[in-house]
């Protein structure tokens, strides 16, 4: 781990903050690790877990599957977004129960209600990442993400196929502006 060079009262090193949330919990936390310089054979380690004030935001996502033959999929696909500062937020599965998602030549609409710190929501998005969960190939044409604060459009210009079967495509696709 990389420790900040800054010392607290000359004896402690504080890690850079790590932000995370549990999928089942709507709260966001920041993790700091405080490490005491070695004092003989004894090392002091303290982990601080602090709640962060979070704002509820609705992410509206449109995903267009290409019109190519066999472009649709029934497999599990997850979406992750990255803001302009490089912070990552896992939105979730691109799946609506009871609906045949990611059909060839169609646009699917998804909503995700997420609690995230203002600094994460307000900066806009630089990239999205799609994670494929099966070996049924899929060809995404574009993904659009909209919140009350921004509207971002990501296109698969190189027509990269996705699949966990390496002979058919790649399992993780990142699209950036």
Q: How many helical (H) and strand (E) elements, i.e. helices and strands, does the chain have?
A: 1, 13
The per-residue DSSP string of 4-15 comes to EEEEETTTEEEE
Measured over the CA atoms of residue 2, residue 48, residue 54 and residue 112, the dihedral's sign is: positive
pLDDT at 24: 43
- pLDDT mean values, one per 10 residues, the chain (177 residues): 40 51 47 51 47 70 95 92 85 84 92 74 83 92 91 96 94 95
CA-to-CA distance for 3 and 159, rounded, in angstroms? 41
CB-based contacts of 126: which residues, under 8 Å, 6+ apart?
A: 82, 83, 84, 86, 176, 177
pLDDT at position 157: 96
Q: Quickly list H helices, 25-144.
A: 118-121
| Model pLDDT, residue 28 | 47
Predicted confidence at residue 159, as pLDDT, reads 96
Cα distance between residue 169 and residue 138, in whole Å: 8
Q: What is the pLDDT of residue 55?
A: 65
At a CB cut-off of 8 Å and minimum separation 6, what does 3 contact? 13, 14, 15, 35
Residue 28 · residue 115 · CB < 8 Å? yes
């Amino acid at each position: 781990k990389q420790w900040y060079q800054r010392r607290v009262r000359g004896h402690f090193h504080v890690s850079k903050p790590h932000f995370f949330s549990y999928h089942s919990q709507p709260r966001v936390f920041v993790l700091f690790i405080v490490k005491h310089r070695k004092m003989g054979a004894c090392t002091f380690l303290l982990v601080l877990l602090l709640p962060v004030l979070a704002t509820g935001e609705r992410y509206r996502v449109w995903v267009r599957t290409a019109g190519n033959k066999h472009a649709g999929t029934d497999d599990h696909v997850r979406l992750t977004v990255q803001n302009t500062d490089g912070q990552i937020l896992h939105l979730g599965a691109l799946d609506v129960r009871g609906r045949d998602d990611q059909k060839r030549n169609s646009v699917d609409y998804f909503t995700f209600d997420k609690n995230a710190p203002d600094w994460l929501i307000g900066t806009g998005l630089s990239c999205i990442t799609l994670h494929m969960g099966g070996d049924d190939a899929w060809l995404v044409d574009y993904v659009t993400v909209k919140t009350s604060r921004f509207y971002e459009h990501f296109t698969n210009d190189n027509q990269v196929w996705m699949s966990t079967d390496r002979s058919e495509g790649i399992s993780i696709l990142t699209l950036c502006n």
